[in-house]
Amino acid sequence: MAFLILLVIYPTVYLWGMMFFSFHPARDPYPKFVGLDNFRILMLDDESWSSLLRTLILLSISVPIQIALGILLAVLFTSRYTRGSLILRILILIPMMIPSVIIGLNWKTILYSHGPLNELIKSMGLEPQAWLSMPFGNPSNTLICLAILDVWQWTPFITLAMVSAFESIPKDIYEAAYIDGASGFKIFRLITLPMSKSSFVTILMLRIIDSLKIFDTVYSLTYGGPGNTTTTYPFYIFKTGFTLMSLHPSYGYTALLSIVLLGVATALTTIIMRILKIDEILWG
Amino acid sequence: MILVKRGTLTTAITAISFAIVLLYLSPFMWMIGVSFKPIAEWGAPYFFPQNPTLRNYMELTTGAVYGVRGHFPSIMPYLINSLASSSINSILTTFLGAMVAYTIQRYRFGGTRLATWILSLRMIPPVAVMLPLVVIVKTFGIYDTVWGLILIYPLITLPLTTWLMIGAIKNVPRDTDEAALVDGCTEIEAFFRIVLPQTGAGLAASATIAFLFSWSEFLIPLLITQSTKGMTLTVYAAYFAQEYGVLWGPMSAAGVVIALPVIVFAIIVHKYLVKGLTLAA
């Protein structure tokens, strides 16, 4: 407990305090009180807002695709006609567990301009794309690359979670519906979906919260570039606080950015905690 | 009519499912393929190496220079750092997690609020709290050591192990530890001698999962280590992308080396993993 308190209380106090100071170890001997100046910087800092916007765009591209694909696979895996469902589930677990950094490196070799993806596109008679390199390509492609990565990494999560949600639905409901002559699709729409709704909402919220953390893959796939085209909000915090690449290198400003992100995450977490019935899970 | 076709349909759908999953895994298989390719074939657009070689793996252990393409150091010190920090952290957080879980599950210590708080730590974006943590680690003089990692990792793993252990302890019949208490055990004895041995599989699973998560952690070692004294495998792998040019063979080999243990362990504990990640009861 003391452990967690040290790791949580101190950082919180530090962040809230540091917010009003200007300090960078490479520049200042001691923190200088600047009052609300960091807020002024935040208001005027276009790059901070565009990285937040970029994170939201990324999230709104990748999460719906993941959910659609994930549910599709989950339906396939739990179908009455599928054998070897356990093996399928174990195999699909793999992308989710590979360390994100490695996924970034892996996709770097795939997305490169003469890599397997472009060869595949060429063999289908389409125009190969410059996925990661700026000079000749479309800069928004890199953001799409990140979305592809995120989808690849996290679709299995949706699948596995939905599979366990589907399986917790009592079997006799299906049997009753089947005897009444309902078709497969109707059963899915009228029984499976409504009955796994609460798991679905939890999973959706978890994915949204986790998407706000996207950092490892950005670091190893693009390092926020080319230019700023893939600088997500967490990566922007990293840049401001821990590298010399930033326009505003200051711990105080980093603290303020962190608090903005923590605020968003806390709001979402509060919602998810309302949905989960903690009491029942703990002592039920 | 449906009855007649049922066997064919089963075969067809099963085949399609397996095909989809294998296709889905093909990016990872591509990396395995590249890791066995000699230098001339790294960028080549075919999966099977024409002249398969183990050179990429051999040179990972020694470090190597590839002419103008760059050079890279040996994987060994990083491997040792990763193993040490992950296993110590795994043991530590599993026991801490078990104890926290026991007090929460049996004595309702801190009520719903404490449980919610611990669980919500899982949702924190780590990058937002790293700044003060780096300051802590520097103040304690454990910057760039394995101990610094062990101090910070629980922030990621403790919520998970606590959550998993709550589930495991819930399954231990309450009568057994109450009987032990009646027979004169202290609460701590009851916990270590009666409850903990009965959680068996849950304990092993949460230790494994804690290991997996600290093994895969990237941001924390990136920010609080800077040399062979503390850097872990994930940071080592990332530097392939940033500093050593496009050494795809060794880079993919490193990726395979880092990913394989995770995959193997994840398969062993897959049942608990899904539970822990989705916050299912």
SS3 per residue for B31-73: HHHHHCCCHHHCCCCCCCCCCCCCHHHHHHHHCEECHHHCEEC
pLDDT tier at B244 (50, 70, 90 boundaries)?
low
pLDDT at position A4 is 67
Q: Select from B209, B129, B201 the least CA-distant residue to B162.
A: B209
Give the model's pLDDT for residue B67: 65
| Beta-carbon separation of A220 and B238 below 8 A | yes
**pLDDT score for B1:** 41
Record: contact A98-B263, CB cut-off 8 A = yes
CB contact under 8 A, B30 and A237: no
| Model pLDDT for residues A157-185, shown as the tens digit of each residue | 999 989 988 888 888 888 888 888 777 77
User: What confidence score (pLDDT) does residue A67 get?
Assistant: 93
pLDDT tens-digit readout, A259-273 = 989 898 888 888 888
Burial (CB count within 10 angstroms: exposed 0-12, middle 13-18, buried 19+), residue A237 = buried
Q: What tens digit of pLDDT does each residue of B157-182 get?
A: 988 898 889 888 888 888 888 888 88
pLDDT confidence of A26, banded at 50, 70, 90? low
Share of chain B above pLDDT 90, in %: 28
CA distance B248 to chain A (A): 7
Q: Residue A116 has what pLDDT?
A: 81
Q: Which fold has domain B76-278?
A: MetI-like fold (1.10.3720)
Residue, of B149 and A122, whose pLDDT is higher: B149
- Select from B106, B114, B264, B267 the least CA-distant residue to B188: B106
- Give which of B220, B238, B60 is closest to A105, Cα–Cα: B238
Q: What's the pTM value of the predicted model, to 2 decimals?
A: 0.87
Q: B164: closest CA among B133, B193, B122?
A: B122
Q: What would the pLDDT profile of A191-204 be if each residue is shown by its tens digit? A: 888 888 888 888 88
A91/B274 touch (CB, cutoff 8 Å), yes or no: no
3-state helix, strand, coil in chain B (%, to 5): 75, 0, 20
Across chain B, mean pLDDT equals: 85
* B86-103 pLDDT per residue, tens: 999 999 999 999 988 888
Interface test mutation site (partner B, options A55, A76, A109, max chain B beta carbons within 10 A): A109
Contact (Cβ atoms closer than 8 angstroms) between residue B162 and residue A48 = no
Mean pLDDT of chain A: 83
Q: How far is CA A124 from CA A40, A108, B23, in A?
A: 52, 21, 17
pLDDT recorded at residue A135: 47
Look at residue B16 and tell me whether its pLDDT is greater than 80: yes
Q: What is the mean pLDDT of residues B204-227?
A: 91
Give chain A positions within 8 Å (CB) of B31: 102, 105-106, 109
B279:A77 CB<8 A? no
Quote the ipTM score: 0.86
Of B13, B120, B125, the CB nearest to A234: B125
Q: What is the model's pLDDT at position A3?
A: 66
Cα of A190 to nearest chain B Cα, Å? 22
Res. A153: pLDDT tops 70: yes
Q: Does the beta-carbon distance from A89 to B270 stay under 8 Å?
A: yes
The helices-and-strands tally (H runs, E runs) of chain B is 14, 2
For A99, the closest of B115, B216, B277 (CB atoms) is B216
| Reported confidence tier of residue B281, pLDDT bands at 50, 70, 90 | very low
